[in-house]
Structures are given as structure tokens and as C-alpha cells.
Amino acid sequence: MQGRMKENDRDVRHARTQNSAVSDHAKGTGHKPLWNETKLIARESHWSTRKVKEAIHIRLNPNNINRDSGAEMLEAWMPSIRKHLNQRGTKTSERLRKPWYMETIAGSKCSNHNRPL
């Protein structure tokens, strides 16, 4: 995660928007990422599983700065996924802020939005 944060920080400092949605957001809005609030949400060692879980997270949190919707998956699965997550007993707001299933920098926030980047 430290490597990914350094990479994004470099992109923000050099305004390299082609490589980083975080940099694009920072340049377009003047907002600065709060790197010290970045947290590792979870680990997923299998690349394909992580990609699917990231896609689920993107769909569960539509107000984000991701440039794409992640791995292709049928939207028909989303009601079942939401039902499963609700059955786990986690409050929706807590679950959306702190997803249980992916390793990403999505736990970062920017200085002007109280939402994940």
C-alpha cells in the first residue's frame, strides 16, 4: 500500500492526470488528498477475486472518482450481493465507508470531501 500511496502522491505533485484518478481529482478541484488518513481496508491475495470485489465496491459506492466500473459483472448480481451484506449485520453506512473486501487506496479522503477517493 505504501508504494501505491507514493505513486499517487507523485502523480498529484506532478499533476500527472493520465495515470491517476486521484491526481485528476486534485488538479481539477484544487483538493489535496489526506494521505495520513489512508487505511488498508482489507487484504485479498488473489488478483481476480480482488478485481471482482473492487467492482462490487465501485457499484455499491457510485459517488466515487473511479474512472471505470471495475471488472465486468452482471448487474443482476447486485441485489443478491446487497442482501448478503445486509445479512452480515453491518450497518449500511459503516459498510460503505469501510468495505470488508478489498485492498486499495479507496480508504483515502480528500481535504474537501468527506468521502473515499
User: Tens of pLDDT along 23-56?
Assistant: 888 898 888 888 888 877 667 888 888 888 888 8
User: Tens of pLDDT along 58-89?
Assistant: 888 777 777 676 777 777 878 888 887 777 76
**Rounded Cα gap, residues 112 and 31, in angstroms:** 6
The DSSP H or E segment spanning 24 is helix 21-29
Task: State whether the Cα torsion 98-62-52-10 is positive or negative.
Answer: negative
